[in-house]
Amino acid sequence: MPARIAVVGASLAGLRTAEQLRAAGHTGPITVLGDEPHLPYNRPPLSKETLAASGDPSTEQLHASVAFRRRALVDDVDFRLGRAVTAADLAQRRLTLSDGTELGFDGLVAATGLRPRRLPLPGPTAGRHVLRTLEDCAALRGALRPEARVVVVGAGFVGCEVAATALRLGCRVSIVEPAGAPMNRVIGAELAQAVQRHHEAAGIRFHTGRCVAGILGRERVSGVDLDDGTTLGADVVIEAVGSLPNTEWLADNPGLDLNDGVLCDNLLRAAGADRVVAVGDIARFPNPLFDDLPRRVEHWSIPADTAKRAAATLTARLAGRQPDPTPFTPVPSFWSDQLDLRFQSFGSPALADEVRLHEGDPDHLAGGVLATYHRRSAHVGTVAINLPPARQRELREAFTALVPAA
């Protein structure tokens, strides 16, 4: 009987893995299980153009604008949507779904991604938002009215993008960030401070080095208290304070390491399990481009890269073949659009102990800036701001050629 593969998580990584399983020659049944009611869709526009879309589109219309094209390759894949997988029994190779049904499998793909971390603060829930799903985006769109007072908590990439979109929509926007200038951890202090100045000049107010100590309001949010005693009036509070991996459904399987995602080896096999691979944001794996420390990478490029490799690994295992031993060395890359700035990053700038600015003026980011990131002198990342696409491609290729294999 052909082997049955269950893919848990019906988003980018789940979809790409189903495609790659077929491309790798797996002919048995594939079932993709997702708790969201929608076919897989693209999340990056949710903080950018979809959040800024005009008119009053329904969730279905929003979905149509961001849904991934379904390739013929996955025509025969069974997508079961709107039901969460609540438990996996890896020894018995059986999944339990939230509707009480069960599903057996011979191979399993964990593709359940992340959910937003919440501020552990009491107070009204009306007016408090997070952004991960289409529904989150639709709810936030409705709240971002001109002149609305918006407080974004967290100045990471998603927080900064949402702040920029809210500003474009005519909102009065503040960002509260305990750790310093925006995206500091990834792009380094000098560029982060330059980005802050750029965004401040456009009208975003920053409260850096400050935490939110309380959410104010009775029926709905009316403001936030900061830990220095400042009170900011707010109609909308957006919690952009990071994410948590969705691994609870895998708990109770001894041997798995679920500290910060699913620990995998370099071939994306879940440690402590047979016939189980993990892909996308949830997979924590070592990348020999940098070192042997397993890390999760929350970039759009990683689902496709991990899907290809994990599909090959799982297909070989189910066919009784040895997996391809070539080290898996994907180049992490992400982009971010904020006001008139487009960031493009290759590698892992966050690992760096030194930043070298090669081109451009931090006081004129829109004119184009190029910085490289180094750890013990080795080049570990590149960040380009507002450089033309052809130049970005060159930089990516140059980066891939430069990084020494560990």
Ligand X SMILES: Cc1cc2nc3c(=O)[nH]c(=O)nc-3n(C[C@H](O)[C@H](O)[C@H](O)COP(=O)(O)OP(=O)(O)OC[C@H]3O[C@@H](n4cnc5c(N)ncnc54)[C@H](O)[C@@H]3O)c2cc1C
What is the contact surface with ligand X in residues (CB under 6 A)? 8-14, 33-36, 43-44, 46-47, 84-85, 111-114, 131-132, 158, 246, 249, 280-282, 298-300, 303, 334-336
Indicate the pairing of strand 107-110 with strand 276-278. parallel
Collapsing DSSP to helix, strand or coil, 171 comes out as coil
Find the farthest-apart pair of alpha carbons in the chain and give their distance in angstroms, rounded: 67
CA distances from 219 to 36, 224, 231, 257 (A): 28, 14, 18, 41
Closest by CA to 204, choosing from 230, 249, 228, 169, is: 169
Residue found by looking up tokens 């560990």 in the block: 406
Collapsing DSSP to helix, strand or coil, 223 comes out as strand
CA distances from 6 to 9, 14, 38, 139, 258 (A): 10, 10, 18, 32, 19
The residues near 321 (Cβ < 8 Å, ≥ 6 apart) are none
Handedness of CA 189, 193, 198, 203 (dihedral sign): positive
- In angstroms, give the least distance from the CB of 9 to ligand X: 3
d(CA 335, CA 377): 25
Structure tokens at 53: 């879309």
CA distances from 200 to 189, 203, 207, 232, 277 (A): 16, 5, 11, 17, 44
The residues near 318 (Cβ < 8 Å, ≥ 6 apart) are 3, 5, 26, 28, 106, 107, 275
Closest by CA to 299, choosing from 336, 260, 269, 329, is: 336
Burial 109-146 (b: 16+ CB within 10 A, else e): bbbbbbebeebeeebeeebbbbbbbbebbbebbebbee
Q: What are phi and psi for residue 247, nearest 5 degrees? A: -120, 0
